[in-house]
Copies of this chain bind each other. A is one copy, B any other.
């Protein structure tokens, strides 16, 4: 049963029903502009990851600023974006199962669609789905460049897989998917540089081996919000896949720059607005946003601009706020913004974005691909 939006345009922020997923539009637009400018300066292309925002509206704002397309992780996300008018979509992930592959092939008339493989059996399945749909699909080889999740080993294994793609009549070899997820949240610049140097070496070597076999990589994609400038500077990567930069989160804000301070290149633009629903005793209050409203996998949320209040525990529908007896106490009914620990799974808990500017609700956007897990 779809839930009604928690606000109406024109309302004041204090009038928004809670819990609600807020976008601070000024901060958000500054992030979009900043990333577009930074990537343009490198000569690489930007293909932001829509697994963060799950929204054709936000994808469209990225495309209007020069992004060449979108990444997604799931076929159902690709559907929502394609149906929402996004013309170029890379599933930066493996897709297994004939039903999912036929759904993806069915998008080909309205969008450029590509996906990844890390096993020869996947190549055969995708070829069958493309043949049945009488379409040609673009397939990238995912290599494990330090993420330790999916992907074949860089080097010969990748070349074998690319050759199998190129030999399939309904497939086109599209290049390499080389994302190092583990490197994104390394805290110091030196750690991130060290990790991505190895990622770049592995990728460069694989690109050269492929070229030696006559297999050119139209896309060499990777990079996230934590490291995209390192991939861009390598001269090897030509597509950057950052996603979280549009919103940021408490965990990314723990990444430090050269000066030992947080890398504050992007602004916090995503919040969960919550209400104090109980103030049962001195030093404790309770908000109406718990595990079902905000992700806690990368740390608990932080009360925004209230460093004297600490969110110390989440249960299903409650968050506990604790504070020193001498600190100003939150008031019953007071609304406060929480900075999520991790933006992507927080967004996936909500049906609506509420865009605010200057203390007023400016827009409502559906989290259109919420629940698009298939």
Q: Which of B19, B181, B277 contacts A315 (CB 8 A)?
A: B181
Within 8 A of B (CB), among A1-48: 1-3, 6, 17-19
A76 at the interface (CB under 8 A from B): yes
A87 at the interface (CB under 8 A from B): no
Q: Which of B119, B291, B351 contacts A297 (CB 8 A)?
A: B291
Is the pair B275, A320 in contact by a Cβ cutoff of 8 Å?
no
A358 at the interface (CB under 8 A from B): no
Is the pair A293, B373 in contact by a Cβ cutoff of 8 Å?
yes
Is the pair A374, B122 in contact by a Cβ cutoff of 8 Å?
no
Q: Known contacts A293-B373, A297-B314: does B149 contact A119 (CB below 8 Å)? A: no
Residue in B closest to A150 when the chains form the complex, CB atoms: B278
Q: Which residues of B contact A93 (CB under 8 A)?
A: 277, 317-318
Is the pair A97, B17 in contact by a Cβ cutoff of 8 Å?
yes
Tell me the complex Cα distance, A93–B95, Å.
Answer: 43
Q: Which residues of B contact A369 (CB under 8 A)?
A: 1
Number of copies of this chain that the complex holds: 2
Q: Which residues of B contact A277 (CB under 8 A)?
A: 93-96, 150
Could you mark each residue 288-299 of chain A with 1 if its beta carbon is under 8 Å from any beta carbon of chain B, else 0? 110111011100
Q: Which residues of B contact A121 (CB under 8 A)?
A: 332-333
A189 at the interface (CB under 8 A from B): no
A51 at the interface (CB under 8 A from B): yes
Q: Which residues of B contact A150 (CB under 8 A)?
A: 277-278, 280, 286, 318
A152 at the interface (CB under 8 A from B): yes
Tell me the complex Cα distance, A148–B76, Å.
Answer: 41
Is the pair B6, A374 in contact by a Cβ cutoff of 8 Å?
yes
Pick the interface stretch among A57-65, A165-173, A263-271, A341-349.
A341-349
A73 at the interface (CB under 8 A from B): yes
Q: Which residues of B contact A280 (CB under 8 A)?
A: 118-119, 144, 149-153
Could you mark each residue 308-328 of chain A with 1 if its beta carbon is under 8 Å from any beta carbon of chain B, else 0? 000000111110100000000
Is the pair A3, B279 in contact by a Cβ cutoff of 8 Å?
no
Q: Which residues of B contact A350 (CB under 8 A)?
A: 371, 373
Is the pair B1, A80 in contact by a Cβ cutoff of 8 Å?
yes
Is the pair B293, A97 in contact by a Cβ cutoff of 8 Å?
no
Within 8 A of B (CB), among A350-374: 350-351, 366, 368-374
Tell me the complex Cα distance, A13–B366, Å.
Answer: 32
Q: Which of B1, B76, B374 contacts A368 (CB 8 A)?
A: B1
The winner among A289, A316, A366 for most chain B CB atoms within 10 A is A316
Q: Which residues of B contact A368 (CB under 8 A)?
A: 1
Q: Which of B74, B100, B315 contacts A149 (CB 8 A)?
A: B315
Is the pair A373, B96 in contact by a Cβ cutoff of 8 Å?
no
Tell me the complex Cα distance, A243–B374, Å.
Answer: 28
Q: Which residues of B contact A281 (CB under 8 A)?
A: 144, 153
- A residues lining the B interface (CB < 8 Å): 1-3, 6, 17-19, 51, 73-74, 76, 80, 93-97, 99-100, 118-119, 121-122, 144, 148-153, 181, 275-281, 284, 286, 288-289, 291-293, 295-297, 314-318, 320, 332-333, 342, 344-345, 348-351, 366, 368-374
